[in-house]
Chains A and B, each alone.
Chain A
């Protein structure tokens, strides 16, 4: 990015500007299902205050950039998770918060628990802990924003590229 001396305007490729914006504002969907949801609420509270990073929780998937899967997902919830993810506008990101969302957590052996949400949606950040501390969630969000600022592709984009490549190979 450069500043034009004459007009004092910021001149940059559009993609760079978009990356810069995405790297400084992240609106997560309030998708809390279990214990982790309480810690997710906590990051918005006075002590942790994610507003200062440009992180504002949204109640509608259509306004959200990023889905924090905060808690255990079971077979009954799985289609609802998929539906919400599909309702989000691209570019979209997923943080699997807590051991349950990462790999089933303490309930992994159960008959009804999804052992990791990456079976349903592409995951950008895996955040372990049971539940992770609020600082850890902030770190996850900031890492995601740094990646965006650097113009790195999201898990959804990588997944889509993977699908395209596989389809192409199948036609060869």
Chain B
């Protein structure tokens, strides 16, 4: 189905022409078009925006506590929560935000999981952390916290435990699994697993004495790449249905950020996506800069590109190592980690840390490159292609690897749009999106960005796209080093205490996993009112359900590996 969109119609004009869009305005200094609507009209409005105006990508689904004092857009004398829906039109990368104000006592809104299936886990997260009820949601249960958790922690009224969680609470928690989908003996209760169709459970062929069984894979499993938990319904060796669940690494990052100043948030966000910390840092710093009207210097822009690309390479190294291990090959791990260490040495030399950098600051970066570092990096990056050739020699033509990955787990464009999949996952299926080119930030507008694009959309294609991205990243990093301008690495006049004016900003960067965004709301104080990380891996991993259905059990590990998840960023 091809629909011609009127891309010349601006989001502002669309919202102005919609009767259900109340008080169209713009938020933040970034002037993102936004409008308010009521729960009753939300579903129709979003459907109209998606089907008639081409806003097919659900970029953001979250909530924020209402600022009761006096909001800059005139909302909210009443205490409560407001839902935030961010939609993006791919054709011209315009974004709009729809707000739905929900006063306390009426925290109910229709679920939009009928429009985007990928909205279902995001709504469960909002239910978990804010207590908003989504009418018509297929399975509205907690997703990040234990089912026996009391309260909704991202509400401002939530009382934080004094001095953190007490040892008594921990011991009590360790004594019970606290999972409503498990029986007391730890086995799964299939009928209660959120998102799993109970109709799948009985074996369809009468007379066959086989039984469908439910297996949990994870959270402790060598091939789940962290503490991912998958419910698998098996018919013998065949996966009938798969349902990812999460929350084993929820570390309260978004809540803790609300009590830290804007610079200190960077340290928390480093630990959010711990495999590519520079990207989470960058999205946050860009949002802070936008809120405060701070400009970074040209040199800092280039350094930001340099480190974003280097860390993308190390992130892909980790993925490559896992890709080998998942298919039974150990050598790729050994090869990839040799080069990863060489790049980590550069990080350590410049930032002082191997993984936790705290390097990007509002207005620039913490330090300039030490003497001689640029020359050594150039020397290393010039030989990088040869290292990738070695990786490819191990896997690309490898008979076993190809047999395990080619033609396995096709991801089609409909599923990509449905689950809001971004990054290499989408690009391997021929969806040509890359924020570095489409919505350039830092110095990407001054550098030759080439997007690695695939077509087939199977596990092998995702492998090829990431391999091509490693080469591209090295090329971009080299270009950033060669074009590095002279001048200061941080701009003058950034205040010691950052107090942005009231408002909101949303900035996204292209992380190794996809579109990683930070939605930042300021109430005028030195701490953020709300900091939300749009996690690309969270959207991507929930597409594992349709991806794994019909596969053999042994293929689940390589397929989940090809999604390339980082649980820290998914659970936050």
Q: Tell me whether B341 is interfacial, beta carbon within 8 Å.
A: yes
**Residue pair A35, B356 in contact (C-beta under 8 Å):** yes
Shortest distance between the CB of B533 and any CB in chain A (Å):
15
Shortest distance between the CB of B182 and any CB in chain A (Å):
10
Q: Tell me whether A111 is interfacial, beta carbon within 8 Å.
A: yes
**Residue pair A110, B252 in contact (C-beta under 8 Å):** yes
User: In the complex, which residue of chain B has the Cβ closest to the Cβ of A71?
Assistant: B249
**Residue pair A33, B226 in contact (C-beta under 8 Å):** yes
27 A-B pairs with CB atoms under 8 Å apart are: A30-B222, A33-B248, A33-B567, A35-B355, A39-B355, A42-B337, A46-B338, A47-B338, A47-B341, A72-B251, A74-B249, A75-B170, A77-B219, A77-B227, A79-B177, A107-B252, A109-B160, A110-B251, A111-B252, A112-B165, A113-B164, A113-B251, A116-B167, A119-B174, A130-B271, A131-B355, A133-B354
> For the complex, what is the distance from the CA of A30 to the CA of B218, rounded to whole Å?
13
Shortest distance between the CB of A133 and any CB in chain B (Å):
7
Q: Tell me whether B200 is interfacial, beta carbon within 8 Å.
A: no
Given the known A-B contacts A31-B220, A115-B164, are A78 and B170 also in contact in the complex, defined by CB atoms under 8 Å? yes
Interface centre among A37, A59, A119, A120 (most CB of B within 10 A): A119
Pick the contact of A77 from B158, B248, B259, B318 — CB < 8 Å?
B248
Q: Tell me whether A81 is interfacial, beta carbon within 8 Å.
A: yes
**Residue pair B176, A119 in contact (C-beta under 8 Å):** no
Interface centre among A104, A110, A113, A116 (most CB of B within 10 A): A110
Select the stretch in B71-79, B113-121, B145-153, B419-427 that faces chain A.
B145-153
Q: How many residues of B contact A (CB 8 A)?
A: 56
> For the complex, what is the distance from the CA of A80 to the CA of B227, rounded to whole Å?
11
> For the complex, what is the distance from the CA of A46 to the CA of B336, rounded to whole Å?
10
**Residue pair A76, B145 in contact (C-beta under 8 Å):** yes
Shortest distance between the CB of B320 and any CB in chain A (Å):
13
**Residue pair B337, A47 in contact (C-beta under 8 Å):** yes
Chain B residues, CB < 8 A from A111: 153, 158, 160-161, 165, 252, 255
Chain A residues, CB < 8 A from B145: 75-76, 112
> For the complex, what is the distance from the CA of A72 to the CA of B567, rounded to whole Å?
11
**Residue pair A106, B173 in contact (C-beta under 8 Å):** no
Chain A residues, CB < 8 A from B318: 38, 41
**Residue pair A45, B337 in contact (C-beta under 8 Å):** yes
**Residue pair A34, B274 in contact (C-beta under 8 Å):** yes
Q: Tell me whether B310 is interfacial, beta carbon within 8 Å.
A: no
Q: Tell me whether A149 is interfacial, beta carbon within 8 Å.
A: no
Chain A residues, CB < 8 A from B163: 109
Chain A residues, CB < 8 A from B567: 33-34
> For the complex, what is the distance from the CA of A80 to the CA of B247, rounded to whole Å?
13
**Residue pair A76, B356 in contact (C-beta under 8 Å):** no
Pick the contact of A80 from B175, B220, B267, B271 — CB < 8 Å?
B220
Question: Within residues 23 to 74 of chain A, which ones have a CB less than 8 A from any CB in chain B?
Answer: 30-35, 37-39, 41-42, 44-47, 59, 71-72, 74
Chain B residues, CB < 8 A from A75: 145-146, 149, 165, 169-170, 173, 178
B interface list, Cβ under 8 A from A: 144-146, 149, 153, 158, 160-161, 163-165, 167, 169-171, 173-179, 186, 219-220, 222, 226-227, 247-253, 255-256, 259, 267-268, 271, 274-275, 318, 321, 333-334, 337-338, 340-341, 354-356, 567-568
> For the complex, what is the distance from the CA of A59 to the CA of B186, rounded to whole Å?
20
> For the complex, what is the distance from the CA of A81 to the CA of B177, rounded to whole Å?
11
Chain B residues, CB < 8 A from A131: 355-356
Interface centre among A77, A78, A84, A133 (most CB of B within 10 A): A78
Contact with B along A108-127 (1 / 0, CB 8 A): 11111111100110000000
Chain A residues, CB < 8 A from B158: 111
Interface centre among B171, B173, B356 (most CB of A within 10 A): B173
Q: Tell me whether A82 is interfacial, beta carbon within 8 Å.
A: yes
> For the complex, what is the distance from the CA of A131 to the CA of B271, rounded to whole Å?
10
**Residue pair B356, A74 in contact (C-beta under 8 Å):** no
Given the known A-B contacts A75-B149, A77-B219, A131-B355, are A34 and B568 also in contact in the complex, defined by CB atoms under 8 Å? yes
Interface centre among A35, A71, A116, A133 (most CB of B within 10 A): A35
Pairs of residues from A and B, 4 with the lowest C-beta to C-beta distance, nearest first: A110-B252, A45-B337, A35-B274, A78-B174
